[in-house]
Amino acid sequence: MKPSFDPRVKRLELPSMESLYEEGELYQWQTYEVFQQQARGDRHMHVGSLHAPNPEMALVLAKEQYGRREQCVNLWVVKTSNVHATRYEDSDMFLHATNKIYREGAGYKVKGTIEEFKHNLDGYLAGSEGNEQKKEVEVVDAPKIANLDRVIRLSAGKNGKPRMILIRKI
């Protein structure tokens, strides 16, 4: 062990740890990255890593490390060595040199409509009878086009164009 440069620190003279363990193939297991999914259909999110000798063991151990505190319906494990990453030295390449707000989700004009729709969703779905929504919103059964469950027609927008929300079958 290297002596400390701080004069207040006196380190115990212990033998090197390396001599205590024989570093064979099984000395240290490889690591796996763990991805957790909170609900079916959600994306899997990286939650951490762990040691395991194979994928089966990794899954078994991951369940208690990462799957027991938060809601979880599915786990993925991936060998850390199978992850390919960019270099932090290059992280400046992600910066936008010129204004590219049109590429960001927040830049889309439709965002306000989506938020409004989410906010009123219950009303829209229930709203075919009697309430005020009826005038503005018409819920029609799915037309027989690909994978659509229903189509909700909203009242015309400020520009006078009809607006529509398509709900896809899951």
Residue 40 within binding range of another protein, rule CB under 8 A: no
The contact mask relative to another protein for 102-141 (x = CB under 8 A, - = no) is: ----------------------------------------
Question: Can you tell me the distance from the alpha carbon of 68 to that of 70, in angstroms, rounded to the nearest whole number?
Answer: 6
* Distance in Å, CB of 63 to another protein, minimum: 6
What minimum distance in Å lies between the beta carbon of 68 and another protein?
6
Pick between residue 72 and residue 125 the one whose CB is nearest to another protein. 72
CB of 84 to another protein, least distance (A): 25
Residue 50 Cβ vs another protein, minimum distance, rounded to whole Å: 5
Instruction: Work out which of 38, 44, 47, 65 binds another protein, going by CB under 8 A.
Output: 65
DSSP state letters, the chain: -PPPSSTT-----PPPGGGTS---TTSS--EEEEEEESSTTSPPEEEEEEE-SSHHHHHHHHHHHHSSSS--SEEEEEEGGG-----GGGGGGGS-SS--GGGSGGG-TTHHHHHHHHHHHHHHHHTTSSSTHHHH-EEEEPPSSTTEEEEEEEPP-TTS--EEEEEE--
Residue 51 Cβ vs another protein, minimum distance, rounded to whole Å: 6
Q: Which is nearer to another protein, 57 or 148 (CB)?
A: 57
Binding track, positions 45-64, relative to another protein; x by CB under 8 A: -----xxxxx-xx--xx-xx
